């Protein structure tokens, strides 16, 4: 195998399809070994014979945000609009955006929703691009606290003149529900605010009121 550049769980390094295919084949072999080591006669078990292949395929599906390029975004420049008055830009709220992720500690599912709001300056983002970016960021092994901040950082890179941003993430972590403390009803909730939302309590309150709890 050619030398592989390794990345951190929150990073992105798009791979050509043939490289992904190569890694899937290697993973399949490794999972055959895992099942054998666990003590399963998987080769002669009709329910398990395809499992190493399935797991290899699934792992690349669940880490799409690590190995596929960022979705394209559309930016609309409002300064091109014909108006003489100063526009008072309004907050743009999007949510809930469903996320399905993995925790980077146990590789168990995290399922939840994200609510996002921003106050544009002179440019706005194409509406459907917002959930796409959020879902792409979530498709990586994550720590929810970091992911919440990463949403803000990513949109800020795409639209540096954004005036304010608010992110609210509510998710269930299977590593807490099905093992360890075995607490299945608890959610993890994280919030992050940027720009105008950092100083303006009223803006934050209005945002949180729109979040369906």
CA-closest candidate to residue 107, choices 175, 171, 41, 54: 175
Q: How far is the CB of 184 from Zn ion (least distance, A)?
A: 14
Indicate the burial class of 142 (C-beta count within 10 angstroms; 0-12, 13-18, 19 or more).
Answer: buried
| Among 81-89, 93-101, 169-177, 201-209, the segment contacting Zn ion (CB under 5 A) | 169-177
Is 174 a binding residue for Zn ion by CB under 5 A? The answer is: no
Query: For strand 123-125 and strand 75-77, is the pairing parallel, antiparallel, or unpaired?
Result: antiparallel
Which one of 34, 175, 188, 189 is in contact with Zn ion (CB under 5 A)?
Answer: 175
Contacts of 155 (CB under 8 A, 6+ apart): 116, 118, 125, 133, 162, 165
Site membership for Zn ion, residue 8 (CB under 5 A): no
Check binding of 59 to Zn ion (CB under 5 A): no
Identify whether the C-beta of residue 199 lies closer than 8 Å to the C-beta of residue 104.
Answer: no
Q: CA 183 to CA 201: how far, in whole Å?
A: 33
Segment near Zn ion (CB under 5 A); pick from 39-47, 81-89, 135-143, 170-178: 170-178
* CB 183 to Zn ion: min, Å: 13
Selected range binding Zn ion among 39-47, 61-69, 98-106, 197-205, rule: CB under 5 A: 98-106
In the complex, the residues that contact Zn ion under the rule CB under 5 A are 103, 105-106, 175
């Amino acid at each position: 195998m050619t030398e592989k550049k390794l990345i951190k769980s929150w990073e992105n390094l798009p791979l050509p399809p043939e490289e992904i295919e190569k890694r899937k084949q290697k993973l399949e072999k490794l999972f055959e070994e895992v099942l054998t080591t666990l003590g399963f006669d998987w080769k002669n078990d009709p329910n398990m014979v395809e499992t190493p292949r399935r797991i290899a395929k699934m792992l690349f599906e669940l880490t799409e945000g690590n190995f596929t390029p960022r979705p394209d975004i559309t930016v609309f420049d409002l300064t091109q609009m014909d108006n003489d008055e100063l526009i008072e830009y309004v907050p743009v709220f999007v949510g809930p955006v469903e996320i399905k992720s993995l925790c980077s500690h146990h590789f168990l599912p995290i399922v939840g929703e994200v609510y996002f709001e921003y106050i544009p300056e002179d440019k706005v983002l194409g509406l459907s691009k917002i959930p796409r970016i959020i879902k792409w960021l979530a498709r990586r092994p994550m720590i929810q606290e970091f992911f919440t901040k990463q949403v803000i950082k990513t949109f800020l890179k795409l639209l540096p003149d954004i005036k304010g941003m608010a992110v609210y993430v509510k998710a269930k972590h299977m590593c807490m529900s099905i093992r360890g403390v075995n607490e299945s009803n608890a959610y993890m909730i994280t919030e992050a605010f940027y720009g105008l939302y950092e100083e303006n309590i009223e803006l934050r309150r209005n945002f949180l009121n729109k979040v369906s709890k």
